[in-house]
Amino acid sequence: MKIAYILPTGSGGLPHYTAELANAVSKYAEVTVIKPITTTADNIFHHRVKVISVFDSPAISYVDIEKGRVFSLSNLRALLSYRNIKILKSINPDIVHFAAGSLPPTQIFTRLYNLDKKYPFVITYHYVFPRKLILRGRDVSSAEPLLTVIFLNIGNLLSKLLPVKISKIIVHTMRDRDVLIKKGVVPRKIAVIPHGCYTIFRSYNTQKGENSNTILFFGNIIASKGIDTLIDAIPIVAKEIPEIKLIIAGNGVIPERSWKIIEKYKLNFEVHNYFIPNERVGEFFSRANLVVLPYRGQGGYSGVLTIAWSFGKLVVTTNVGEFPVLVRDADCGLVVPPDDPKALAEAIIKLLRDDELRERMGRNALKMAEKLSWDNIAKMHMKVYEGVLNERRRRN
């Protein structure tokens, strides 16, 4: 079987997801990845995977949107480079998979070249918004910049106007499956496959020992991830554990009010406000006693959660989306309400003071990492691909 993965973005964690999936599937099929010229995962692809770099890298991440970088002439040129998706005709795959979702330009050129008529397409939605339009203060946090909401709505509308014929939709959670069904998607077109557990970062020799009373916030810093709530919680924790240290490691915008707290409590914060290169990820996770995901608007899986599992780290997160199932039910962390600094602080204090509880939850985190190995995830994808091809043969 020949599978072509289309990676539309070069920034953030989606290139890592595509690389891990492509590497694992390449043990069972012939795999090609069509991607931007530069991505955050270029040094991760296995030699079994054929990599073709034909897209420019537009500035379209959530961080780029919040910083107002998306509407520029250079971005327009980059988006036009997606016409190179026509290289699929020379590859002639059995399956084309948008494993990192798709962008309006990939849909435009897919339709223009009739690629979705020639090949069966599979798409992975890493998060499904409950409504057709994204309303500020509803599906996205009320703190989300208006520019982000406008950009997301434009993308949604273009996707409706230029639909690509999709044979199968993959989501990570039952919650996202239910949302799609409510939107009118036929249940048999949806497959639920969990997010694989990132283990690639353990291969770098940068791991260090744990630092006492140290917690970690990792990943892109956007309003829906609730960094402000976590920063508000640190002075509360410091009253009980004066030596508490919060490591903030990731690119994005830290609110001005939060910076004032960081300045006031300098000894309790360590800030690395930039994109963390792959070889340094293990350094931050290995130093932390636990990882905090104070999200207020994240409904699906989190790649950060799977990195924490791979390092055997328990987490404190919020009861939004699937996190209660993934964390509380698996007994690998604590779950609190979103936007509640006091509850967040109490959970952090409880875990830092209970060594036995941390050890037990850490063992459960490693069990989740084993359960969600990329080899297991690859086998699930292969079943989906085989089902798509069988259905196509029956129709023909």
Read off the pTM: 0.85
Positions in the chain short of pLDDT 50: 133-144
Same domain, 289 and 274: yes
* Residues in CB range of 382: below 8 A, 6 or more apart: 1, 25, 28, 29
Helices 278-287 and 303-310: angle between axes, nearest 10 degrees = 70
Q: What are phi and psi of 220, to 5 degrees?
A: -55, 135
Containing H/E element for 228?
helix 227-240
Residue 110, SS3? helix
Same domain, 208 and 325: yes
Same domain, 221 and 150: no
Q: What are phi and psi of 340, to 5 degrees?
A: -130, 85
Domain count, the chain: 2
Question: Are the C-beta atoms of residues 329 and 305 closer than 8 Å to each other?
Answer: no
Selection from 278, 307, 305 nearest residue 293 by Cα:
305
The pLDDT, as a whole number, for residue 143 is: 45
d(CA 206, CA 204): 6
Same domain, 192 and 318: no
Instruction: Summarize pLDDT for 261-306 with one digit per residue, the tens.
Output: 999 999 999 999 999 999 999 999 999 999 999 998 755 578 899 9
The pLDDT, as a whole number, for residue 140 is: 42
The pLDDT, as a whole number, for residue 182 is: 92
Same domain, 51 and 189: yes
Same domain, 240 and 378: no
- Give the number of other CB atoms < 10 A from CB of residue 290: 23
The pLDDT, as a whole number, for residue 142 is: 41
Same domain, 286 and 343: yes
d(CA 338, CA 86): 44
For the chain, how are helix, strand and coil distributed in percent, rounded to 5? 45, 15, 35
Helices 14-25 and 374-395: angle between axes, nearest 10 degrees = 70
CATH number, domain containing residue 135 = 3.40.50.2000
Written as six digits, the tokens of 33 are 């990845």
Strands 121-125 and 290-293: unpaired
Please give the full DSSP string across 241-292, using - where no structure is assigned.
-TT-EEEEESSB---HHHHHHHHHTGGGEEEE-SPPPHHHHHHHHHH-SEEE
Same domain, 213 and 151: no
Strand-pairing partners, residue 4, are 32, 96
Written as six digits, the tokens of 242 are 């004066």
Same domain, 205 and 321: yes
Same domain, 91 and 171: yes
Same domain, 139 and 188: yes
Question: Are the C-beta atoms of residues 314 and 307 closer than 8 Å to each other?
Answer: no
Same domain, 56 and 164: yes
- Note down the domain range covering 316: 200-371
d(CA 62, CA 132): 19
The pLDDT, as a whole number, for residue 77 is: 77
Buried-exposed string 119-133: b where 16+ CB fall within 10 A, e elsewhere: bbbbbbbbbbbeeee
Written as six digits, the tokens of 258 are 């939060």
